[in-house]
Structure 1
Amino acid sequence: MTTYKDYYKILGVERTATEQEIKSAYRKLARQYHPDLKTGSEKEAAEEKFKEINEAYEVLSDPEKRAKYDRLGANWQHGQEWQPPPDMDGFHFYTWNDGDLGATGFSDFFETLFGRARANRTGGGFRWEPQMRGQDIESELQLTLEESYRGGEKTIQLTSREICAVCQGSGHLDRGICAYCGGTGNTTVRKTLEVKIPPGIQNGSKIRLRNQGGEGLGGGQRGDLYLKVNIQPHPLFTLKGNDIESKVIITPEQAALGDKVTTATLDGDIILTIPPQTHSGKKLRLRGKGWPLKGGGRGDHYVEVVIDLPAFLSEAELDLYKKLAELRKGV
């Protein structure tokens, strides 16, 4: 007596599911529960679930196995104790004695129906290796405002977990623990990448590096690496959408009489005209000096005027301020 396996329930499909529906359900579950993508306490539970998923797919993806399995009927409950019905003419069931072929990783229920295949000993036991694309990975890319504005290439270094190349992720070699990965099936790899940064990239944008993500399983293609741009704060400029904001400090007389002062922009210093009687907090617009726009053109640069006294005033300057204060009395 063994335990009945409801392979349709395991894959989450109806008994009428098409071949494509079965394959799609399997791929989704295999990615979710593959033990090479788990760590710690989750890994052991994932291994058992992964075996169950693979066993269900092994049966339902094979027309002959599926037909034989379907002949048992749909009235069995998942986990119910089961033994070969005595009235199934022409239906061959298998029984095994201790000491027969080693375990393959399939359940007793599977082996009673389909027999026992020899295990693959290269990885320390049965191992199913479906071809599966690697996971996409997301990381952050720290950029200065100038790097984001001008674009170009940036060299970065990343540390990632890769499937052990020695034991192929099994964690075992010759029935023992793989010394290269310590039995984890994964190794830490540090790699250097050249990233192309498009000019004018915005904060929060993502740069996609094809085939630089998680390693594929069973010879599958690697996933992609997505780098989320994080533009670091700048001491002079603030990016607001497609516009740049900065400040310029002037003296009271410059504000009253107007002047020409030097101020910084993303393209270097320029001469800025301060109109007469400019108030503190006024924003002067530099058209087309802001952030690059998609499709061409640029935003604007707004310079906020801040009026401040010099750190030191001479006696003559103080006398002039006193005279000015007398003139302003009663105004």
Structure 2
Amino acid sequence: MSVSFQDYYEILGVSRTATEKEIKSAYRKLARKWHPDLHTGRDKETAEEKIKKINEAYEVLSDKEKREKYDRLGANWRAGDDFQPPPDTEGFHFYTGGDAGASGFSDFFEAIFGGGFGRGARTARRGPVQGQDAESEVELTLEEAYRGGQKSLQLSTREICQACGGQGHDGQSFCPRCGGTGVTSSTKTLAVKIPPGVADGSRIRLKGQGGEGLNGGTRGDLYLKVRILPHPLYKVRGSDLETEVTLRPEQAALGDQVSVPTLDGAVLMKVPAGSRAGRRLRLRGKGLPHKGGRGDEYVIIKIDIPERLTAEEEKLYRQLAALRKGV
């Protein structure tokens, strides 16, 4: 018998002293990278071959008995070398009959461990298992967060593979649909009801929109973390808002009524005479909702100095300067 030796440690990129946790972590990273659904054309064919080797390596190294048996072959083999049973392999049974390769494993695997898929019977789940909860993010404008309403979201999801029921194999070999990972990638569109007054960082629960359950188990929930987008007019300070209003010098000096934007629409605000730049004026109850009421809106005064003056305006400014000279 002559088959090509498979270096399972090299395939997973781990040392021969790797722990179970390190092996599992390496497998997950490689399975995500080489998942056939993430590739197209020739790259997909390459990914399918890669994932077979990765799954086979993990099948052996994650199983204590198989790993011990594999390790007894020694560390001096190189991947691709012709493998002949070493002369000191007492206790080994090398399989030579049967339908080699029918299980989806390499001839090397078949020669040492025989056909069939040994892991499936041990890991098969019994009884319903609830799906995992999932978390994503929803971006809202300040107005959407304040008023609430319905928003359409498109989310990327990972669903249990329907071909293998999430087991990663179809009885005799790794599932070709999911590449042995037990899940497939998909997208779905949800109509999400946004409650009025949601705060930045809060979470919206969508019951039954999380991970799919196993063996008839209910789906998990999806939690959407709210992120309020920056606003061109307002800064959010907890439940309070800040905005700015620009006054001409005479408005600031003499006082005036000016239009100020709020989330409920523009309102007229009285500016006291002698208002200086940077002064904060409060509009009570015009902020964001909070438990027990609403926050306030603070309007910060800015004063605009005209870039160009008419001859009459310049004359008046000079008269004002003369009047205030020495004051």
- Give the TM-score normalised by the residue count of structure 2: 0.62
Native 8 Å contact 1:216 1:223 kept in 2: no
In 2, Cα distance between equivalents of 1:231 and 1:306: 28
Cα offset for 1:112? 1.0
What does residue 117 of structure 1 align with? 116
Structure 1 residues 304 and 39: alpha-carbon distance in aligned structure 2, compared to 1, 3 A threshold: farther
Secondary structure of the structure 2 residue equivalent to 1:54: helix
Query: Cα distance, 1:107 vs. partner?
Result: 0.9
CA 1:322/1:91 → structure 2, altered by over 3 Å: closer, same or farther? closer
How far apart, in 1, do the equivalents of 2:33 and 2:221 lie? 15
Q: Shift of the alpha carbon at 1:92?
A: 1.9
SS in 2 for 1:330: helix
Check conservation: 2:197, 2:290, Cα contact below 8 A.
no
Aligned twin of 2:102 = 103
Distance 2:212 2:237 in 1: 37
Q: CA deviation at 1:77?
A: 2.8
On the 8 A contact 1:290/1:298 being kept in 2, the answer is: yes
| Correspondent of 1:158 among 149, 154, 169 | 154
CA contact (8 A) 1:293 1:299 kept: no
Using the alignment, how far apart are the partners of 1:329 and 1:17 within structure 2? 83
Counterpart Cα distance in 2 of 1:5 and 1:322 = 90
Preserved contact between residue 214 and residue 223 of structure 1 (Cα < 8 Å) = yes
Amino acid at match of 2:151: T
Counterpart check, 1:274 vs 2:271: yes
CA distance in 2, matches of 1:43, 1:137: 29
Please tell me the residue identity of whatever aligns with 1:83.
Q
Equivalent position of 2:254 in the other structure:
257
1:1-331 superposed matches below 5 A = 1-36=2-37, 38-40=38-40, 42-96=43-97, 100=99, 103-117=102-116, 141=139, 143-149=140-146, 152-158=148-154, 160=156, 190-196=188-194, 199=197, 201-202=199-200, 212=209, 229=227, 231=229, 233-234=231-232, 237-239=233-235, 241-242=237-238, 244-248=241-245, 254-266=251-263, 272-278=269-275, 281-286=277-282, 290=287, 298=295, 301-305=298-302, 327-328=319-320, 330-331=322-323
Supply the distance in 2 between the matched residues of 1:55 and 1:219 (Cα, whole angstroms): 29
Relative to structure 1, is the Cα distance of residues 189 and 104 closer, same or farther in structure 2, using a 3 angstrom cutoff?
same
Checking the alignment, whether the CA contact within 8 Å between 2:142 and 2:228 is kept in structure 1 is no
Larger mean CA deviation between 158-167 and 40-49 belongs to: 158-167
- Structure 1 length normalisation: TM-score? 0.61
Q: Number of matched residues?
A: 289
Check 1:63–1:135 CA distance in 2 against 1; reply closer, same or farther (3 A cut): same
Match of 1:155, SS state, is strand
Give CA-to-partner distance per residue, 1:96-129, whole Å, 9 cap, x none.
58xx4663221111011112238xxxxxxxxxx9
- 1:174 matched to which residue of 2? none
CA displacement 1:211-268 (0-9 Å, x = unmatched): 757879999988967667352645xx22255563434466665443323445333355
TM-aligned CA distance change 1:240 to 1:64, over 3 Å: closer
Between the aligned partners of 1:112 and 1:277, the Cα distance in structure 2 is: 94
Amino acid at match of 1:231: L
User: Match of 2:229, as an amino acid?
Assistant: I
Q: Quick one: structure 1 residues 287 and 110, their matched pair in 2 at CA, closer, same or farther if it must change by over 3 Å?
A: same
SS in 2 for 1:199: coil
The amino acid that maps onto 1:148 is A
1:143-197 deviation digits (Å, cap 9, x = unpaired): 33222245x4533142657769775799xxxxxxxxxxxxxx9796542232545
CA deviation after TM superposition for structure 1 residue 199, in Å: 3.3
Query: Residue 203 of structure 2 contacts residue 223 of structure 2 at CA under 8 Å; is this kept in 1?
Result: no
For 2:28 and 2:124, the matched residues in 1 are separated by: 9
Q: CA deviation at 1:43?
A: 3.2
Residue-by-residue CA offset, 1:261-320 (whole Å, 9 max, x unaligned) = 4533335555533222345x55433276555789998475123355699xxxxxxxx99x
Whichever residue aligns with residue 39 of structure 1, its letter is H
Q: Which runs of 5+ in 2 are unaligned?
A: 118-122, 126-130, 169-182
Farther-moved stretch of structure 1 (251-260 vs 58-67): 251-260
Answer yes or no: is the 8 Å Cα contact 2:197–2:288 preserved in 1. no
Distance 1:295 1:28 in 2: 48
User: What CA distance in whole angstroms lies between the structure 2 residues aligned with 1:148 and 1:46?
Assistant: 43
